[in-house]
Structures are given as C-alpha cells and as structure tokens.
C-alpha cells in the first residue's frame, strides 16, 4: 500500500497532547470523539519539524552557499538523475512529515469550532503545501480529514498553479482573517500569514499582491512588537529564540524526539556530518569579501560575516552548537520581509531611491554603508543589489536555492547551464512505486 495511504489512514486518529508545543503527541484518540482539538493542532505544528533539515539542506547545499563532498551526496552539486539516492535522508522524511502535518491540520479545519485554531491550522496547511510545491512542483492534494482509501485518484499530482490558487492562497487569506496580530508563544499570527502570503505572491511573480501584503506586515510591525534586532548575532541561537525579529519559527526542543532521525540543520551547516566536513562554498566567502569596501568603520568586514562563515573551519557558526538541539528554525523574520518588500516595489516601478532606502537599516546593522542611489539607478541594478543582500543576510537559512529558481538566476549565479528540470527535486521513489504509477516522478529522475 502506498505510504501516503498509510499516512492518510493511520493518522485519521490524530494525536492529543498538552497545550505546550514542546510536548510530544503521545496519546491517541479517535478524531470523531474529540471536542478539544488543541492536541490535534499541536500535532500539526509538531510534524513540521521533520521538514526542517531537508529544506535547509536543499536551500543551501543545492545552491552556491554550501556543498557536500561524500558520495553519493555530492549529487546535490551535479544536477543529474542520481539525486534519488538521497530519498531516505532528505526527500522521504520531508514528504512524509509535511503530509502528516496536513492531515492533522485537516482534522482541525474540518471539526474544530474554535476560529483561532482553524486559522492556525490553515496557516500550517498552507506552509506545508508551499514547501511541497517549491520542492516538488505538482503534488498530491488532500483537504479532508477522512479521505477515501478506495479511490486512488486522490494520489494524483495536482498542478502547482492549482495548489497555489485553490489551497495555499485561500488558506493564508483565511488565516489572516482569523488570527490576531500578537505573536503568542511562537504560534502562527496574522502577520505570519500575511508575510508568508507576500512570499507566495513573490514566488508567483504577482508583485502587486506581494507588495500590499508585505507592506501590511511592515506597517503593523511596531504595534505587534516586531522589530529588527540591533545586533545581527542576537537573531540566532537557543537563547535568542522568539526574539523581536522572528515573525514565525518552527519550534524545536531537545525534550521531544524529532521524527527526522539524521544530522539536524545546525550540524550540517557547522560541518559536523561526515558527508560534508567543510561545507562552506568559497563562492559565499567571495560574496562577503566583495563588500569589504562598503564598511562604515575600520573593521573592514560585514558584521554578518563572523556570524555566518568561519573560513578556518570552512563551515558556518550561524547556529551555535552548544544548544543545537534546541534551536528554533526561522521560517520568516522581519529582514526577510523587508527585502521581499523592496523587491516587489522595485518590480512594480518604484524609484530606486525609495527601494534602496528600505535596505539601509539592514545594511547599517551589518556595518555597511547605504547603497549609492546615484550608481544603482535602474531596475536591473537594484534587483541585483537586493538579491546580493538576501544572500548575505539569509545564508544558511534555507533560502538561497529557492531564491535563485524564483528569480530565474540559477545559471548566472551557479556559473553553469542547468536544465530547468533539475530546479525541482525528485518525488520519493517509494511513493511512485507503491502507487503503481498514480504518483508520477519528476522529469529528469
């Protein structure tokens, strides 16, 4: 039987847990007997954990920020058909965990009478599907708590465009209407939903819709106590979890057993997995070197550099190892929203001066001078400046590869011609085989 069927059936009986997100959902209850769906909602949050490290690795190790040097994992940098060999460690757990989160969310959406719970569940379902379509393209869609196990058509992959228009966007719009602006205990909020919706529209090239949603987050940030951290280093690490810059993060705790049973994201970036003992790509080092002449003081370096890269170890210290198992995974922070807002404004024809002004707080925090408005005076030049800033600001946060694909700059930035079929990752072969071909594999794999 297809593993997705197993998920859809076995997890109809979703899990109940305490109202703290850090509690493993250990007690089973038939969903039809539940009247309190807090535990089921917590399960939807919990299952997002399994997708964190695979997404982090895909975002940076597929791109020019990091690389692997052990066979067969160096296939991440070869852009051929052999990437399917990584199913067990990356694509399989990612796929399974997100569909578990979706099924739990479906139960809450369909059966809970609490509007806030439903809003959070719709945010989580949208987040899961957004990750799935960015990684795989067309995907299986299930929006009900109790899908039929006799109709194999439920497994058929739905075009990504349809997933965006009929699931992701409506779910986020509903979440925006249902959730408050206050960020409580790291749970989904209105601005988390609105910021994610802005990112979704940016992904789709709908810059008008992206700009309006991202503007709403920025304009409401102060009242919601969302602000840039004064020091870049204070964004990261266990002691800084849920700081003022974090709009939404997947909460992680060493007190619960993560479903992902391999090296976690903080180990990968630090070079603690034997598959990549020196993961730092020299291209990222060169990107930091390139801004050395733009510093405000005599230190001569971007202040993000020491936080992000270690050229002695050729790894990244961005997520300190001392409390690694307790690091939250940042899904959306204010600097990311500001950079996306600047991008949407630039694509919508705003003046270079207005757009570049948005970057000033981020650059000044990094110890850099504001960008020269007189030199960067065209849409193309500003576009490149924003992408360069995103790379340095968000390195090792799982963003780089997806930014390159979204902006159509894969070949230019990777320095090689890469067939667009390898912009996506392979559907787990086990899903394809077990569905007897109902689930199809992506082209090239």
What is the model's pLDDT at position 365? 95
Pull the structure tokens for residue 418: 């890469």
Output the pTM of the full model.
0.92
Q: Are 278 and 67 in contact (CB under 8 A)?
A: no
Q: Which CATH class is domain 3-224+233-270+302-312+327-351+393-420?
A: mainly alpha
In the prediction, which pLDDT does 34 show?
Answer: 61
Say if residues 213 and 194 touch (Cβ distance below 8 Å): yes
Rounded CA separation 31/110 (Å): 11
For the stretch 163-193, pLDDT in tens is 999 999 999 999 999 999 999 888 999 999 9
Whole-number pLDDT of residue 258: 75
Query: Which pLDDT belongs to residue 151?
Result: 66
Q: How far is 143 from 114, CA to CA, in rounded Å? A: 18
pLDDT along the chain (445 residues), means of 10: 34 35 34 76 96 97 96 92 92 96 97 97 98 98 82 88 98 98 94 98 98 98 97 95 97 85 94 96 96 69 94 96 89 98 98 97 94 94 97 98 98 97 97 92 97
Cite the beta strand spans of 10-156 per DSSP E.
15-16, 27-28, 139-140
> Residue ranges of the domains in the chain?
3-224+233-270+302-312+327-351+393-420
Q: In the structure encoding, which two tokens stand for residue 92, read together?
A: 């399989």
Q: How far apart are CA 16 and CA 413, in angstroms?
A: 46
Alpha helix segments (H runs only) across 72-114 = 92-111
The answer to whether the bond into 72 is cis (omega within 30° of 0) is: yes
Q: Are 355 and 345 in contact (CB under 8 A)?
A: yes
Spell out the residues 6+ positions from residue 374 whose beta carbon is closer than 8 angstroms to its own: none
CA atoms within 13 A on the CB side of 236: 20
Given this model, what pLDDT does residue 17 score? 35
Say what the pLDDT of residue 293 is. 73
Given this model, what pLDDT does residue 177 score?
98
């Amino acid at each position: 039987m297809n593993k997705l069927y197993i998920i859809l059936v076995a997890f109809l009986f979703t899990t109940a847990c305490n109202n703290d997100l850090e509690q493993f959902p250990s007690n089973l209850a038939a969903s039809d007997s539940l009247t309190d769906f807090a535990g089921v909602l917590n399960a939807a949050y919990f299952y997002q954990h399994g997708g964190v490290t695979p997404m982090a690795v895909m975002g940076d190790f597929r791109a020019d920020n990091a690389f692997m040097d052990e066979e067969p994992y160096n296939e991440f940098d070869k852009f051929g058909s052999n990437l399917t060999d990584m199913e067990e460690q990356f694509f399989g757990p990612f796929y399974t965990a997100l569909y578990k989160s979706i099924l739990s969310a479906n139960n809450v959406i369909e059966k809970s009478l609490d509007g806030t719970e439903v809003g959070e569940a719709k945010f989580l379902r949208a987040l899961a599907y957004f990750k799935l379509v960015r990684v795989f393209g067309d995907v299986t869609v299930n929006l009900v708590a109790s899908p039929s196990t006799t109709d194999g058509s439920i497994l058929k992959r739905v075009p990504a465009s349809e997933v965006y228009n009929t699931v992701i966007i409506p779910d986020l719009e509903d979440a925006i209407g249902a959730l408050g602006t206050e960020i409580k205990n790291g749970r989904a909020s209105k601005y988390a939903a609105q910021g994610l919706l802005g990112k979704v529209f940016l992904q789709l090239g709908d810059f008008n819709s992206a700009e309006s949603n991202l503007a709403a987050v920025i304009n409401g940030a102060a009242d919601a106590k969302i602000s840039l951290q004064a020091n870049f280093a204070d964004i990261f690490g266990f002691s800084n979890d849920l700081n003022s810059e974090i709009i939404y993060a997947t909460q992680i705790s060493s007190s619960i057993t993560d479903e992902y049973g391999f090296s976690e994201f903080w180990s990968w970036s630090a070079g603690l997995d034997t598959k990549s003992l020196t993961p730092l790509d020299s291209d990222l080092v060169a990107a930091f070197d390139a801004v050395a002449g733009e510093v405000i003081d005599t230190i001569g370096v971007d202040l993000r550099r020491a936080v992000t890269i270690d050229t002695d170890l050729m790894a990244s210290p961005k997520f300190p190892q001392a409390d690694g198992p307790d690091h939250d995974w940042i899904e959306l922070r204010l600097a990311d929203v500001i950079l996306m807002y600047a991008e949407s404004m630039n694509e919508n024809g705003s003046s270079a001066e207005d757009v570049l002004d948005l970057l000033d707080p981020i650059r000044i925090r990094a110890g850099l001078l504001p960008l020269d408005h007189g030199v960067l005076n065209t849409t193309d030049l500003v576009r490149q400046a924003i992408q360069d800033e995103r790379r340095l600001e968000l390195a090792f946060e799982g963003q780089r590869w997806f930014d390159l694909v979204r902006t159509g700059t894969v070949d230019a930035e990777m320095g090689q011609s890469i067939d667009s079929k390898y912009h996506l990752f392979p559907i787990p072969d086990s899903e394809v085989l077990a569905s007897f071909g109902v689930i199809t594999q992506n082209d090239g794999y």
